[in-house]
Structure 1
Amino acid sequence: MIKVVKFGGSSLASAAQFKKVGAIIRKEETRRYVVPSAPGKRHSGDTKVTDLLYKCYGQAILDDDREEDFEEILKVIKDRYDSIINGLELTISLDDEFKTIRENFSKKIGRDYAASRGEYLNGIIMAAYLGYEFIDAAEVIFFDEEGEFDAEKTNEVLSERLAHTERAVIPGFYGSNPDGTIHTFSRGGSDITGSIVARAVHADMYENWTDVSGFLIADPRIIKNPKAIDVITYRELRELSYMGATVLHEDAIFPVRREGIPINIRNTNAPEDKGTLIVEATCQKPRFTITGVAGKKDFASITVEKAMMNSEVGFCRKVLTVFEDNGISIEHMPSGIDTMTIFVHQDEFAEREQKVIAGIHRAVEPDFLELESDLALIAVVGRGMRATRGTSGRIFSALAHANVNVKMIDQGSSELNIIIGVRNHDFDAAIKAIYDIFVNTRI
């Protein structure tokens, strides 16, 4: 068996956290490939090393009279790493690495290079601590000329490299462009690196270690001590991630999904917890009818009404073209015989609302057009809903009992999710009502 293990920033924020990680890795011989993030916050008032690197580089590219500020921040960063090295009683030194970083910052080599050094340096320390081989991600993870991840070249090179490497540490978050310069994934991209490595070695499991024991059914900021999700499918995860559940970078599922490799979300600070298993498909029945509930606020809706619009060929296309021409993405589009409603992000729409209104009038000459703002969308997701009668009825009943007015409901043909629109001020009450009826009541 081969396991790839990725550890987040909070798991590697200090020497004490490194020791926890070391114990986890050494507990199972199968944990052969390690993907570390940069050191995160040690406490609520602390600053992540990646943020310090961005700040340091920002000072470095300013005029020469700010050089002292640049040196001061760089020293803070070096002290963070030295404290980890000393706490682990290692004999390695990062002096030469920081000399190179100082020179490259002075040459204004780029923000991606600056940001990537957090993972790079942590990888060097982790490899020394474990006695594993260190592999610079820039040598095995590649982007193309357009800055898009080159999955096939990466898989070919990385597979060949790791086939001859029994145990290795590969830093997360970055790779290289065709010209050799550093290119990073979006923030949180170490999750993606772990997934890429898992695919390359045909891993049996990709363990993603963080500071929570897997996915929760609902946001703990809204629901006190929500239940954990034992098993979730990739499709369910995509639905919940899109609506704001952010334990795992949503792009991290693609490399492993195509190989059928499960992901296990685990807690570094509670390694005995089983966490959440993410799989392609499962016969395992969920504990509850729903797998999870998540949502986002601050949407606007545009309702277009016109008699006999259903018989007018191209009506929807004409309306949607107006949004496309104004660079506005569409979230949901419930419709009736003579009406269609478009949900969009309020901040995107606000700047162009009059252009959109005028465009719709010119395109389809509606009988009536109405705007609403300050709306929230909530996704109720679960593979168990397909085999359960009355799910929508229970949702409506729970929301009515909580005095929440439903503005929209939209169910996908897969019966995997139900999208509900409510007012922003009803958002928390709606989440609580849905969680209560399906998890606490369980009738």
Structure 2
Amino acid sequence: MIKIAKFGGSSVADAKHFKQIKRIVEADPSRRFIVVSACGRRWKSDAKVTDLLYLVSAHMRYHVSCDDLLEDIGSRFFAIADELGLSYPIREEYATFCERVHAGELTQEELVSRGEYFTGRLMAEYLDLPFLDAADVVAFHHDGTLAMERTEALIQERGIPGGFLMPGFYGATREGRIMLLDRGGGDISGSILAKCLGADLYENWTDVSGFLSADPRIVDNPQPIGRITYSELRELSYMGASVLHEEAVFPVMEAGIPIAIKNTNRPQDPGTIISDRDDYVSDEPIITGVTGKRDFVAVHILKDHLTNEIGYYRRVLSIFERYRVSVEHIPSGIDSFAVVVRGEDVKDSLWSIVADIKREVEPDKIKVVDDLALVSTVGRNMVGRPGVSGSLFAALGQEGVSIRMMSQGSDEINIIVGVRDSDFERAIRAIYRAFSDGDHLLELSDLKRAEEEARIETAGLAQRVE
């Protein structure tokens, strides 16, 4: 069995965490392929090495001394090497790096990538694994996009079959220019490696024990999510749940490789398994999770006999496209529809867009609602299940939360409601309570039991009436 184990910045923050990783790796011989991020925060107010390196780059660009920053970064690596008794010449290598920084020889991408590089060098020695530089195997096109086919060929050609350690977040073009993935790209690196090696499992080790069914800052003690599908993950991540980088899903999803989200500090916790299995299991919750985002704007358009006007929607949407605004949702009625967009996307262009709509498509009425929050309830077990929407809407009604719009995906795994921004947290709590008994989310078996009890009670009432 092949497992790819990716450890995030919080998992490699210091020597103590290095030791914990070694225990995790040695506990399972299948963990032979390791990906690491740069050293993260050691405590809440601490800085990530990657952020410090970006600051170094900014200082160099504006000709401001960065000696203190470089000293702080180096001390992080030196402390790890000294405490663990590592032989890698980190001081000499880091001194050469600093000379190149001062000489202006490094691009920002190469400068920032050294956080992962040095962390990887130290971790490879500590785990007694060969070091495979990501610049040698993760291939980029010149436009900054990943060259997946070439990456797969390079990993097959240069990867060590018995196992190796590879730093995440960066790669290189054919000419050797270092390129970076998006922030959080270490997750993507691990996913790419899993696909290229045909892994059985991609483990993503972080500082939380998987996904929670709601934001713990809003809902007290939300239930952990034991299993989630790729589709559900995409819905929850898009609407605000952030444990795994969104783009990390695609390589493993295409290859059918499950992902396990695990906690480095609590390796005994089961975590969350992400896979393409969408079958029903009676002891799993009816809903998987509730999440949401604030700061949306809805442009409501009313036009009599709208359905008779061919191309009306297209003409309106082309105006948003012209302003390079991405459309989130389009709830519609017979003679009206709304275009929902992110507030930040239209902060400088909203009224120009409205003016163009009035002039070009001549609606009978147009209204802007700008205090909109969207709440998404996600769950594969909601599909085809009577009463789910009713329970959700009833819960919001009982809480006094007005629904300003509603949308449901064609695959029926999510229900999105628009509420006033001031009702955002109240709406999430109300929906969570509707599908929870206070201690855990209601399961399909609970629903079936309730339906059976209601059927028996109804039958008994009918007999008494007779």
- In the TM superposition, what whole-angstrom CA distance separates every residue of 1:174-225 from its partner, at most 9, and x where no partner exists? 1012331111111100000001111111111100000000011011111121
| Residue 284 of structure 1, CA deviation | 5.0
| Residue 347 of structure 1, CA deviation | 2.0
* C-alpha contact (below 8 Å) 2:303/2:365 kept by paired residues: yes
2:335 aligned residue: 338
| Residue 288 of structure 1, CA deviation | 1.4
> Are 1:374 and 2:371 an aligned pair?
yes
Alpha-carbon distance in 2 for matches of 1:130, 1:346? 47
Instruction: Pick the aligned partner of 1:149 from 146, 160, 173.
Output: 146
1:405 aligned residue: 402
1:4 aligned residue: 4
1:62 aligned residue: 62
* C-alpha contact (below 8 Å) 1:16/1:87 kept by paired residues: no
Matched ranges for 1:232-271 at <5 A: 232-271=228-267
Alpha-carbon distance in 2 for matches of 1:436, 1:322? 41
- In the TM superposition, what whole-angstrom CA distance separates every residue of 1:278-306 from its partner, at most 9, and x where no partner exists? 00124352621111111100001100001
* C-alpha contact (below 8 Å) 1:147/1:183 kept by paired residues: yes
Alpha-carbon distance in 2 for matches of 1:362, 1:58? 45
Matched ranges for 1:308-387 at <5 A: 308-387=305-384
| Residue 95 of structure 1, CA deviation | 2.3
> Are 1:217 and 2:213 an aligned pair?
yes
Letter in structure 1 aligned against 2:5: V
Instruction: Pick the aligned partner of 1:133 from 130, 135, 151.
Output: 130
* C-alpha contact (below 8 Å) 1:240/1:381 kept by paired residues: yes
Alpha-carbon distance in 1 for matches of 2:437, 2:209? 20
Letter in structure 1 aligned against 2:191: S
Q: Output the TM-score relative to the length of structure 2.
A: 0.92
* C-alpha contact (below 8 Å) 2:11/2:264 kept by paired residues: yes
In the alignment of these two chains, the number of paired residues is 438
Instruction: Pick the aligned partner of 2:291 from 290, 294, 305.
Output: 294
- In the TM superposition, what whole-angstrom CA distance separates every residue of 1:293-324 from its partner, at most 9, and x where no partner exists? 11100001100001001110000000000100
| Residue 374 of structure 1, CA deviation | 1.5
Aligned to 1:440, the other structure's residue is in SS state: coil
* C-alpha contact (below 8 Å) 1:288/1:439 kept by paired residues: no
| Residue 378 of structure 1, CA deviation | 1.1
| Residue 100 of structure 1, CA deviation | 3.1
* C-alpha contact (below 8 Å) 1:300/1:346 kept by paired residues: yes
* C-alpha contact (below 8 Å) 2:88/2:121 kept by paired residues: no
Aligned to 1:350, the other structure's residue is in SS state: coil
Alpha-carbon distance in 1 for matches of 2:206, 2:389? 34
Aligned to 2:42, the other structure's residue is in SS state: coil
- In the TM superposition, what whole-angstrom CA distance separates every residue of 1:323-376 from its partner, at most 9, and x where no partner exists? 001111111000011001011111221311221112111221100000011210
Letter in structure 1 aligned against 2:178: I
| Residue 160 of structure 1, CA deviation | 2.1
| Residue 104 of structure 1, CA deviation | 3.0
1:421 aligned residue: 418
2:77 aligned residue: 81
Aligned to 2:203, the other structure's residue is in SS state: strand
| Residue 108 of structure 1, CA deviation | 4.9
1:174 aligned residue: 170
* C-alpha contact (below 8 Å) 2:81/2:90 kept by paired residues: no
CA RMSD, aligned part only?
1.3
Alpha-carbon distance in 1 for matches of 2:314, 2:209? 45
| Residue 103 of structure 1, CA deviation | 3.1
Letter in structure 2 aligned against 1:394: S
Q: Output the TM-score relative to the length of structure 1.
A: 0.96
1:27 aligned residue: 27
| Residue 56 of structure 1, CA deviation | 1.6
- In the TM superposition, what whole-angstrom CA distance separates every residue of 1:117-175 from its partner, at most 9, and x where no partner exists? 1111110001000110001100000110211111111011112222x431200000010
Letter in structure 2 aligned against 1:57: S
Aligned to 2:16, the other structure's residue is in SS state: helix
* C-alpha contact (below 8 Å) 1:346/1:374 kept by paired residues: no
Alpha-carbon distance in 2 for matches of 1:238, 1:271? 25
Alpha-carbon distance in 1 for matches of 2:59, 2:195? 39
1:72 aligned residue: 68
Letter in structure 1 aligned against 2:33: Y
Alpha-carbon distance in 2 for matches of 1:232, 1:128? 35
Structure 1 ranges of 4+ moved more than 3 A:
none
| Residue 6 of structure 1, CA deviation | 0.3
> Are 1:205 and 2:201 an aligned pair?
yes
Alpha-carbon distance in 2 for matches of 1:416, 1:424? 24
| Residue 89 of structure 1, CA deviation | 1.9
* C-alpha contact (below 8 Å) 2:280/2:381 kept by paired residues: no
Matched ranges for 1:37-116 at <5 A: 37-63=37-63, 66=64, 69-106=65-102, 107-116=104-113
Aligned to 2:167, the other structure's residue is in SS state: coil
Letter in structure 2 aligned against 1:118: G
Aligned to 1:439, the other structure's residue is in SS state: coil
Instruction: Pick the aligned partner of 1:306 from 264, 282, 303.
Output: 303
* C-alpha contact (below 8 Å) 2:172/2:179 kept by paired residues: yes
